[in-house]
């Protein structure tokens, strides 16, 4: 039988921080507010990076994460503007999303206890599992490109946090950042294309009426 890892005060603080990030990602209906959770992911993961070689690497990582959030914030503003004028699509209620966030945390705890990551600190391993499950659940609950894209970015951030803990090179960090920016651009393009399609459908319906 696997034994449960001992939990220190620092790891308890990690659980609290991750819980706040998880709720910020999954509870808000407004995607602009949910982006604060994604930014929190980048900030927290940047604090978990080692600084044996390049101290500025964490700042580069954080800056690229902020750029990704800014790009998605602009798109989220367009989506929310359309939602106010046309009516917000039916979404899962607040209680269900809160239960989903709690489920992600419980599953992450179980997986972390059963399959701990030996090459990274326990707090980073737990965070990676938790954020990855958050991302998967967000994509499943999404229903529109931006919501699913936020889930994808959260999932990618979880894997990148583990990778960048061992890989401290500035070039590798920059390439990871470029990948994040490329994914964010793709999400923005798909979300904007969805908005234009809805506008065309609305015009066609009004014209036929």
Looking at the predicted structure, is the pLDDT value of residue 4 above 60? no
Distance CA 19, CA 102 (A): 8
pLDDT, tens digit, 9 for 90 and up, residues 67-105: 999 999 998 888 878 767 765 554 557 788 888 888 888
Residue 178 lies in a domain: yes
pLDDT, one tens digit per residue, over 99-153 is: 888 888 889 888 888 888 888 888 888 888 999 999 999 998 877 888 899 999 9
Task: Examine the pLDDT at 36 and tell me if it is beyond 70.
Answer: yes
Is 202 within a domain? Answer: no
How large is the average pLDDT for residues 6-19?
75
Range of the domain at 182: 32-49+56-85+94-197
**Residues in Cβ contact with 146 at an 8 Å cutoff, skipping those fewer than 6 apart:** 31, 72, 75, 76, 79, 187, 191
In a domain, 13, yes or no: no
Question: Looking at the domain assignment, is residue 68 inside a domain?
Answer: yes
pLDDT at position 2 is: 47
- Structural domain includes residue 204: no
Whether residue 205 lies inside any domain: the answer is: no
Structural domain includes residue 11: no
* Entry pTM: 0.83
- Say how many domains are in the chain: 1
């Amino acid at each position: 039988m696997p034994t449960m890892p001992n939990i220190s005060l620092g790891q308890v603080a990690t659980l609290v921080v991750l819980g706040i990030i998880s709720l910020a990602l999954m509870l808000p209906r407004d995607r602009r507010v949910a982006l604060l959770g994604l930014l929190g992911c980048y900030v927290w993961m940047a604090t978990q990076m080692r600084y044996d070689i390049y101290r500025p690497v964490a700042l580069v990582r954080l800056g690229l994460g902020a750029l990704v959030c800014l790009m998605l914030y602009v798109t989220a503003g367009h989506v929310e503007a359309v939602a106010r004028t046309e009516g917000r699509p039916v979404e899962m209620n607040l209680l269900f999303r809160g239960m989903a966030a709690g489920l992600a945390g419980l599953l992450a705890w179980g997986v972390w206890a059963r399959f701990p990551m030996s090459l990274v600190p326990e707090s980073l391993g737990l965070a990676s599992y938790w954020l990855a499950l958050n991302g998967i659940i967000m994509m499943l609950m999404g229903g529109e490109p931006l919501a699913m894209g936020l889930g994808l970015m959260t999932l990618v951030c979880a894997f990148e946090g583990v990778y960048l803990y061992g890989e401290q090179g500035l070039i590798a960090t920059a390439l990871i950042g470029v990948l994040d920016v490329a994914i964010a651009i793709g999400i923005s393009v798909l979300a904007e294309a969805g908005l234009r399609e809805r506008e065309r459908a609305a015009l066609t319906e009004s014209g036929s009426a």
